[in-house]
Amino acid sequence: MSLTAEWNGRVQELEEFCFWVRLESLENSGAAMLSFQCPVPLPGGAEIPNGATVRFVRDGVCIFLGYVVGVKASRETVRWDCMDQLVYWKAKASAVRKEKPLDQWIREAAALVPGGGRIRLGKLTGTGVNLSKKVFDSRSVLDMVYDGMEETNLLTGKEYLLRDNGGAVELVEKQEAVLPLVLGDGSLADGYQWERRLDEQSYNLIRLVRDDKGNGSRVLAQAENRKSMENWGCLVLQEKAPAHLNQAQVIARAQSMLKLYCRESQNLVIEGMGSPLIYGGSSLKVEISREKLSSWAVVEKAVHTFSGSEHRMAVKLRLWE
């Protein structure tokens, strides 16, 4: 394990002084956060300032590169909180998105971020489809990108992941983020909590409408799943249809939305021995025989804690249908 901080040309090695390191990452929900705590004072009386660059390497792989955003001290200890470059993508801007693929839109959006040389792009996977034209007024750059990802999902049926990977923001199809790991029976896990529920993302009737000033809203397209309606009742999602879509495209969009939303939410939290491979947005296999679970799952949230030679983790998972 290697943990270093760099500022004003100075490099401070920290791993041998740290009481603990905590790394938290979420699926498509902004910057990852790394926190660490050390005794006071550090060697040479070093005081790591806000904005310092922090790099965390585990098993020879950089799993976090970010910047100090907060310092909290007591008489005996000091804690630093750091976030990766996506924290700068929260800057608000205005822009007009022309018809273009998601990867090109991300490159344009990144140019709107005043990151002081800290904005770096890595692999941006092509999607093969164009986004619609759209105007953004005083929206965060990150929201603009997520908007494009959501539209691409509806157009292609594929889900994408945006994250900072060791100092470079990358866009990958979630199928590319599948890990060669199994969590559950006899593999890393020593505790779990599991639930299945209908939540705010569960719908079995989709209506897309367009405003008609003379007659009020009228239904342009409707998609439904009758079997689930018999079992769950009627769960309706109604939205305005984008103005640029024709009737056939509106119908296709409704069907895509039904496929995306007509499902129960299955959530699983597993605690156990840590693997540095696991991060928010990655996917892996889950095997828990007691609950008859044998499924692939997406990591919604991963929290890793390192203390001495011990590495623990708590992982929140969303099971695939």
Rounding to the nearest 10 degrees, give the CA dihedral for residues 228, 286, 256, 162.
150
pLDDT band at 217 (very low <50, low <70, confident <90, very high): low
Provide the whole-model pTM: 0.84
- Please provide residue 137's backbone torsions phi and psi, each rounded to the nearest 5 degrees: -120, 115
| In the chain, % of residues over pLDDT 70 | 97
pLDDT band at 74 (very low <50, low <70, confident <90, very high): very high
Q: List pLDDT tens digits, range 252-284.
A: 889 988 988 888 888 899 999 999 999 999 999
Contact partners, residue 200, CB within 8 Å, separation at least 6 = none
pLDDT band at 117 (very low <50, low <70, confident <90, very high): confident
What CATH number should be reported for the domain whose range is 185-198+265-319?
Answer: 2.40.30.150
The Cα 68–Cα 137 span in angstroms is 30
Task: From 78, 6, 2, select the one nearest 35 (Cα to Cα).
Answer: 78
User: Are 2-87 and 91-173 in the same CATH fold?
Assistant: no
Determine if residue 292 is left, alpha or beta; phi over 0 gives left, psi from -120 to 50 gives alpha, anything else beta.
left
Q: List pLDDT tens digits, range 277-297.
A: 999 999 999 999 998 889 899
Comparing 29-33, 136-140, 240-244, 296-300, the range with the smallest average pLDDT is 240-244
Edge to edge, what strands does the sheet with 121-124 contain?
121-124, 168-173, 160-165
What CATH number should be reported for the domain whose range is 2-87?
Answer: 2.30.300.10
Comparing 115-129, 161-175, 200-214, the range with the smallest average pLDDT is 200-214
Domain ranges (residues) in the chain: 2-87, 91-173, 185-198+265-319, 205-261
Mind giving me the DSSP string for 98-134?
A: PS--HHHHHHHHHTT---TT---EEEE---SSPPPPE
Gyration radius from the chain CA atoms: 23
What CATH number should be reported for the domain whose range is 91-173?
Answer: 3.55.50
Helix pair angle (247-261, 141-156), 10° resolution: 100
